[in-house]
Amino acid sequence: MNEISYLEEYIKGILQKIGLSENLAHNIADYIILIVLAIVAYLGYLVTLYLIKRILIPLFNKSKTQFDDLLIKHRFFKRLSLMVPAFILYYFTEDTMTTMNDFVDLLVKGIEVFFIVNFILIIDSLLSTLNDYYERFSFSKDHPIKGVVQITKIIIYVAGVILIFAQLFDKDLSTIFLGLGTLSAVMMLIFKDPILGFVGGLQLIFNKMVAIGDWISMPKFGADGNILEINLTTVKVQNLDKTIVTIPTYNLISDSFQNWKGMENSGGRRIKRAINIDMDSIRFCDEKLLDKYKKISLVKDYIVEKQTEIESFNASNKVDSSITPNGRRQTNIGIFREYLKRYLSSRSDINMNMTFMVRQLPPSEKGIPIEIYVFANTTEWIAYEGIQADIFDHVMAAVKEFDLKIYQFPKSGDYATVYKD
């Protein structure tokens, strides 16, 4: 500081020698010193930045850890280097300008505000770095901290604004916080979405409801795809058609959604689809039909065993077989259901350790549905669709071999009847 005073006196002396008055020479000397100080501060910033680029960054690039690379990415060192010129200006300004006290006070306050803003930005860089570094670990998908980081940033920014306000207007912090208490209702209204998002995000994380990469469906928001990001106020979902949908975080708590993670972890994906059989094509099987169906290798043994059982039952109960509905008889739809079971069991792409069922659903005006309820042994979407299509290609082609018809509207022959009439 003494050196600055000596320099100031030296400049004043030169100015007075060229004929300027003492007051004018003093004021001009102050401004010259301030300009010199600003140049020195800027040079200090450049030197600091140069040292960081030439020494620190090459060292970080050689290190195995990625944390320092993320610090560079989020401009931590650049923001840190801005503190150097700020310190120079802050500590030497008052000694440089001995006149124009109001301007000096304003300049000092501006530097103090810059300190607060830049310090907040440094913390912001650190938090962003921590979040990015954390996301490189596999467990971060189940326990994301982005929402926590964002709410922390909001708290820091609000605290920074309060500090700046207190610094500019020379207010006591306790007075400001007391005033904020009276505005709590307004603050709750302003920050309603971040607060709800933060609460929702914590519930999502602690209850392990969703994780990054999960496939979810939420028709209300047009979401059907994988979670890319869980933020403070929104969850970002990339749909299967590659469009991006954002869902308010709290809605994942308050509304219902479907998470396909259980299916993906199970190792099998459900096939649940029915074909409608025309009820007019259902009939009892006589000997001629049974002989025809015995030629189908998958059900030959079944037909023989079942027919032996039925004949034994009818004989023991003295059933009059001349009347078709009397006693027990095989039907073409019953044999067809058994065929479907055996056909599906023979496929290597069906998971036999999960639910396996071929069933009849209640009949309706559209026929009687025969539903296949099984699981493919893959969860990969394209492969699953191929397996499902192959199964029903075969089923629809095989129906007519059992003298059955698939119902469709209008039914086959309807137009012919109409034109005939």
- Summarize pLDDT for 103-134 with one digit per residue, the tens: 667 777 888 888 888 888 989 888 888 888 88
| pLDDT tens-digit readout, 196-218 | 766 776 677 666 778 888 889 99
Greatest mean pLDDT range, 65-69, 309-313, 341-345, 380-384: 341-345
Q: Can you give the pLDDT at residue 1? A: 46
Q: Domains plus CATH for the chain?
A: 2-136 (no CATH), 269-420 (3.30.70.100)
On whether the pTM is more than 0.85, the answer is no
**b/e string for 333-348 if b means 16 or more Cβ within 10 A?**
bbbbbbbbbbbbeeee
pLDDT at 376 exceeding the cut of 90: yes
CB 298, CB 341: distance < 8 Å: no
pLDDT at 275 exceeding the cut of 90: yes
Residue 228: closest CA among 244, 208, 241, 248: 244
Higher pLDDT, 341 or 260: 341
Q: How far apart are CA 177 and CA 187, in angstroms?
A: 12
